[in-house]
Structure 1
């Protein structure tokens, strides 16, 4: 498999991971929110209002925004030979997966991201080692891009969740039930 092919798989791996979150996050939070409040009150105070208030479709809007950016950057990296930039993005994703693994260990049970985190981990490690072995990436530039990408990914998360909240508000207005006479319900 060429480096370009390996790099091109990244958006697919990302989406497989996100599908688990899209499908499982809302029901998991509904079931485990009270336990999270008891066991990790500081975390629950941040996570539950942020994610628990979003519908699955609104959360998906955030994922789509991230996917489009990741896909554009991946294919730009392939087209222009920006392997260190791409490796930095992959390292940021790898860090994200490691955080999920840590969260699951702390929770001591299933979390709605662990299965695909464990499945994506070997791809991330293999891709980084394959690019390094081929000489396509260097430790210094990759480390710099990794730090920059991690910061930008987490800053973008706030933008993506802001878009999701705006979508939620718009959908609430656009698809609000109407009375038989066409007026909004009271």
Structure 2
């Protein structure tokens, strides 16, 4: 499979996962509002966040993911994109582990399980093209750092986005 196909299929599956989160989070929060296990799940912090704000946060993540994809394709950087997919796959594994730990279906576990085999395949295929496992390792660490910093940024921006989208609420 070509580098371009590996990259753009990965981008499409990224959005499948993000759409599942966006579509399923509100009904999940409502259905599990009295379940103490639900309050241990990371999605509980979104109970006061509008779907529009969540979509804006996902859009920002998508733009970042696409920028990495474009760089990988334009500059032929399979190791970089493999590193990004390692970071993203750890994110998916976190969703799966959380569902197992809580013994309940969470808003993003279905797409995490379904897309995980693709990402494992894509990581291996891209790493094989990079020529160096060390390169993939360095990119993985760098991309994990970027992902964590980006999560911190969008979570910090969440109340600002909410206030801009819904100024009449006055609750920030």
What TM-score, normalized by structure 1, do the two folds share?
0.82
> Which 4+ residue blocks in structure 1 deviate beyond 4 angstroms?
none
CA drift at 1:82: 1.6
Aligned residues: 169
Which stretch of structure 1 is more off in the superposition, 162-171 or 61-70?
Answer: 162-171
Aligned-residue RMSD, C-alpha: 2.0
Q: Which residue of 2 aligns with 1:184?
A: none
Is residue 154 from structure 1 mapped to residue 172 from structure 2 by the alignment? no
Q: Which residue of 2 aligns with 1:183?
A: none
For the residue of structure 2 that corresponds to 1:54, the secondary structure is coil
Is residue 119 from structure 1 mapped to residue 114 from structure 2 by the alignment? yes
Is residue 53 from structure 1 mapped to residue 40 from structure 2 by the alignment? no
CA drift at 1:98: 0.5
CA drift at 1:67: 0.2
One of 139, 149, 152 as aligned partner of 1:145:
139
CA drift at 1:129: 1.8
Compared CA separation, residues 33 and 142, structure 1 to 2 (3 A): farther
Q: Which residue of 2 aligns with 1:167?
A: 161
CA drift at 1:73: 1.1
Q: Which residue of 2 aligns with 1:182?
A: none
Which one has the largest radius of gyration? 1
Q: Which residue of 2 aligns with 1:20?
A: 20
CA contact (8 A) 1:87 1:137 kept: no
Correspondence 1:27-176 to 2 at 5 A:
27-35=27-35, 38-39=36-37, 43=40, 48=44, 50-133=45-128, 135-173=129-167, 176=168
CA distance in 2 between partners of 1:169 and 1:62 (Å): 14
